[in-house]
A and B are shown apart, each in its own frame.
Chain A
Amino acid sequence: MSNPSKTTEVQTFEPRIVAFLCKWCSSAGSDLAGVSRIQYSANATPITIPCSGSVSPMYILSAFNKGADGVLISGCHPGDCHYMEGNYLARRKLYLVKELLQFIGLESERFRMSWVSAAEGVKFAEVVDEFVEDLRVLGPQNRLKAER
């Protein structure tokens, strides 16, 4: 049953995404999306990092604490890491972060990971668009957000 007031909220709510993008692939991928003039949601604040493997779980927790509605980590495809194995290490670590966040009941859609190469501007735009749509349905993230 649809709730009219909720529908309005979903329509006006603009999710805020913090996107940690590896400098070698995903950040370049997002640049490509930009220079290719692909229309996609402007809800993601990109933070370029040296490698998806360099993402500390603290970044993710801190982003949610500061009010992010979603956190995206994006790195090079397996086998393509500039540092050989950073993304493999990231995959393991972030799998555990994902499981932990789900375990305590943060909505599982709020944390996402993707492999986006420098050539995949379209994919990057899709990833962000999909994420934004899913977050719109969920509404604002209040579970881990600081209540100050």
Chain B
Amino acid sequence: MTDNIYLPKIGRIVGINEETLGARAIKTFKVEFPNGDGFEHNCGQCAMLSMFGKGESMISIASSPLVKEYKQFSIMKMGRVTSAFHAAKIGDFIGIRGPYGNQFPLDDWKGRDLVFIGGGVGLAPIWPVIQTAVARREDFGKITVFYGARTSSDIMYEADFEKLKASAEVQLSVDSPEEGWPGYTGFVPANLMDKAPTPDNAIAITCGPPIMIKFVIQNLQALGFADEQIYTTIENKMKCGVGKCGRCNVGKDYVCVKGPVYSWAELKSLPQEY
């Protein structure tokens, strides 16, 4: 019998970390597979998470592929399913199917500098790439991570950033002035221009709110990054995750299958429908 692509595996929430508070709070969920039917994934892939009775949501896998025991998901409270996640407790069960989508071509980037530019919850999709790159530190040149949030309390993975500093340059920013803030004050694209990483032999990976991505890409281009050197992920409403339900397409591509990772060169050739 073929696999039932719509039947989720059962996952169990074993850890919940409140990343940010507020109307659109973000929580990170650590999920294990009590039935031993976990799956491997690649950097950039997503999974369809279920809250039975509420529905499914496509969420990017925020943990490193090198971590096999559990998967991590950072979820912003937005609608029906994500609100159910935010109401969940440790020990609760969820449904999970995947992994879906393509991946960041990390192996193609060997020997190059990596510049990560994240904003808000957009850090989650690129976090596994950062983790993997750091774990394979000798494969890459300089690693720089730009990350911005509205305020210092909105910074995700705060503790992990401290550890990250050992192997990468970390450039944090907050949108508005804050007393005692040691990092940059201003929007992420501005911080990027301020630090002006070199495009030579570098790859830039960005994810965040659409408006941030737009200006980050403009600024990267101004810094001399070619379209092929810029990678981002896109999202659209998804239901099936397997290229059938017909709604997440950008032109001929179903993002759930062909995406979410695109180089700017590829994305430019697609119609703007995301």
A–B direct touch in complex (beta carbons closer than 8 A): no
